């Protein structure tokens, strides 16, 4: 199981979006689908029996989508790099992802790549397509853009995250340096780091932006037991927003959202009648209590 995986919030288009992504990207497939039961539907305002979550895999990278209603809207504060050595693949992906979407940076030649483009697809998810000449560790890489109040904190955040996760490493760090916009030599132009074997990227976004981190894209941390769950919850929630803590969700001190959950949770939510009892307990919690969830399942 992928230790840390992105979780994408849609209004009602989760299944549609997942089918689109798995048709666009090679080496991709849909995973399991869960549906709203009476308990979760009542709490969320969704229809019982409608799709709640849909897991999927693109280029060997695991993600999950949820139909959560119009509460949160995806924005470019979290985007996804797509690395490829195949120029035709980049061109094909660009054509499909830009259809009905919004171009943020034209597909073109830049100092950092012979072909690069940034596009927001028709569902609001942002993709940075990059033609690579050298070998790369991961085809799909989530990227965090630190803007507004979080601007200038990308390097600090990377050090913070890599200090929390036990199998973590800062890979490359490139600062803007003197003479480059935004005239802040310590701001990060680009950096990448690994958390539990998965690559992440981060940048400081200078200037005016009408977006910042929100719950629309969060990162799920799958934990093997209560001690590990307690560890990640306590560390990631330190200095964060207490009001954003519910049902295993939290927002850290940089505004990035996480879900700290037991790896057994999908199983506990897979059985119709039992899952209603589990969901009832889950909605009462902030930090999840595995024993209580298991007890609700076993009753």
pLDDT tens for 187-209 read 899 999 999 999 999 999 987 88
Q: Which domains does the chain have, with CATH numbers?
A: 4-72+218-298 (3.10.180.10), 78-204 (3.30.720.110)
- Kindly indicate the confidence band of residue 44, based on its pLDDT and cuts at 50, 70 and 90: confident
- Kindly indicate the confidence band of residue 220, based on its pLDDT and cuts at 50, 70 and 90: very high
For residues 180, 155, 138, 230, the Cα torsion angle rounded to the nearest 10 degrees is -160
Nearest-angstrom CA–CA distance, 299 and 297: 6
Residue 179 has pLDDT above 70, yes or no: no
Nearest-angstrom CA–CA distance, 81 and 97: 13
Cβ burial, residue 92 (10 Å; 0-12/13-18/19+): middle
Task: Give me the percent of the chain exceeding a pLDDT of 90.
Answer: 81
Phi, psi of 33 (to 5 degrees): -125, 130
- Kindly indicate the confidence band of residue 89, based on its pLDDT and cuts at 50, 70 and 90: very high
Comparing CA positions, the residue from 43, 52, 42, 40 lying closest to residue 11 is: 52
Strands 249-251 and 217-223, by their bridges, are: unpaired
Strands 198-204 and 140-146, by their bridges, are: parallel
Residue 180 has pLDDT above 90, yes or no: no
**Exposure string for 263-288, b = 16+ CB within 10 A, e = fewer:** bbbbebbeeeebbbbbbbbbeeeebb
Average pLDDT over residues 15-24: 98
- Kindly indicate the confidence band of residue 182, based on its pLDDT and cuts at 50, 70 and 90: low
pLDDT in tens, 140-166: 999 999 999 999 999 999 999 999 999
Position 132 scores a pLDDT of 93
Nearest-angstrom CA–CA distance, 267 and 277: 13
165 SS3 class: coil
Sign of CA dihedral 52, 20, 127, 123: negative
pLDDT in tens, 271-299: 777 888 999 999 999 999 999 999 999 98
- How far CA 142 is from CA of 183, 201, 262, in Å, comes to 26, 6, 22
């Amino acid at each position: 199981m992928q230790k840390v995986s992105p979780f994408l919030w849609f209004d009602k288009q989760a299944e549609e979006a997942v089918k689109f992504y798995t048709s666009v990207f090679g080496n991709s497939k849909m995973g399991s689908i869960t549906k709203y039961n009476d308990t979760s539907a009542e709490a969320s305002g969704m229809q019982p029996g409608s799709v709640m979550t849909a897991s999927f895999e693109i280029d060997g990278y695991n993600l999950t989508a949820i139909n959560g209603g119009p509460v949160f809207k995806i924005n470019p504060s979290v985007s996804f790099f797509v690395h490829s050595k195949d120029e035709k693949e980049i061109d094909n992906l660009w054509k499909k992802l830009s259809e009905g979407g919004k171009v943020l940076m034209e597909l073109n030649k830049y100092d950092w790549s012979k072909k690069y483009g940034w596009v927001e697809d028709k569902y609001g998810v942002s993709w940075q397509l990059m033609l690579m000449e050298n070998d790369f560790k991961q085809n799909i890489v989530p990227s965090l853009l630190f803007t507004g109040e979080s601007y200038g904190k990308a390097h600090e955040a990377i050090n913070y995250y890599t200090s929390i996760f036990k199998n973590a490493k800062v890979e490359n760090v490139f600062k803007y340096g003197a003479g480059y916009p935004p005239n802040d030599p310590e701001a990060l132009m680009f950096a990448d780091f690994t958390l539990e074997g998965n690559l992440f990227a981060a940048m400081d976004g200078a200037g005016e932006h009408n977006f910042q981190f929100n719950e629309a894209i969060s990162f799920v941390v799958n934990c093997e037991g209560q001690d590990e769950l307690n560890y990640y919850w306590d560390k990631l929630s330190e200095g964060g927003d207490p009001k954003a803590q519910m049902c295993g969700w939290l927002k850290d001190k940089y505004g990035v959202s996480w879900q700290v959950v037991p790896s057994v949770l999908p199983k506990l939510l897979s059985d119709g009648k039992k899952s209603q009892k589990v969901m009832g307990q889950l909605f009462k919690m902030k930090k999840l209590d595995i024993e209580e969830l298991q007890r609700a399942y076993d009753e």
